[in-house]
Amino acid sequence: MKLTDGSKVPFADAMVVPPSVGQDVVRAVPGLTDDKGYIPVEDTYQSKAYPEIYAAGIAAQVPVPVPVPWQASVPIGTRKTGLPTESMAKIAARDVAAAIKGEAHVAHKDFADMAAVCMMNAGNNGVLILANHMLPPRKVAVMIPGPQVHAMKLAFEKQYLRKSRHGYVRLP
């Protein structure tokens, strides 16, 4: 892989996640995104500026429960196994179907209330996070560190790349 500075990094399989600044076509819509390229959404994952547009996963901006000086929103789904993104997409799909039928919104769920299932790399170690809610307050929250989590994350990435390379998008 050749980097922008001209240096090369050898690899057999790789998952490269560039900084998320949003797609140009999305950022070009006046008032749709914030200054970082995220789409402010309601708990139905509809855009606050354009209710006919839905955003899920990394595109959706959610509020931070505790103010921090360096960031006013949290990008979702960048290094997670996909559970929050899948939950958002299901909510959006149910509402799109209801809108097509001329019905009222049928689904909504605040990001903070979604279950958390995350595998994170931490060098040669990893951390598995399981919680009943993404953001506090939580009734159940477990963090399991260890090299087995790192191995699980690597296995997930290799399986994802393998199935994507061969077009098996619906297999686990």
What are the DSSP calls for 120-155, one per residue?
Answer: EEETTEEEEEEESSSSSS-S-EEEEESHHHHHHHHH
Count of other CB atoms within 10 angstroms of residue 70: 4
In a domain, 9, yes or no: no
In a domain, 48, yes or no: yes
In a domain, 11, yes or no: no
Count of other CB atoms within 10 angstroms of residue 83: 15
Among 77, 111, 145, residue at a domain's last position: 111
Query: Using an 8 Å Cβ cutoff, are 39 and 86 in contact?
Result: no
User: Do 34 and 72 belong to one domain?
Assistant: yes
In a domain, 13, yes or no: no
Query: Using an 8 Å Cβ cutoff, are 24 and 32 in contact?
Result: no
pLDDT string in tens for the chain (172-residue length)? 787 888 888 877 666 665 566 678 888 899 999 887 889 988 888 999 999 999 888 788 876 655 544 444 444 433 344 677 778 888 888 888 888 899 987 777 777 788 888 887 777 888 888 888 887 788 988 988 899 988 888 888 888 888 888 887 666 5
Into how many domains does the chain fold?
2
The residue range of the domain holding 84 is 24-111
User: Do 103 and 41 belong to one domain?
Assistant: yes
User: Do 37 and 104 belong to one domain?
Assistant: yes
Count of other CB atoms within 10 angstroms of residue 141: 13
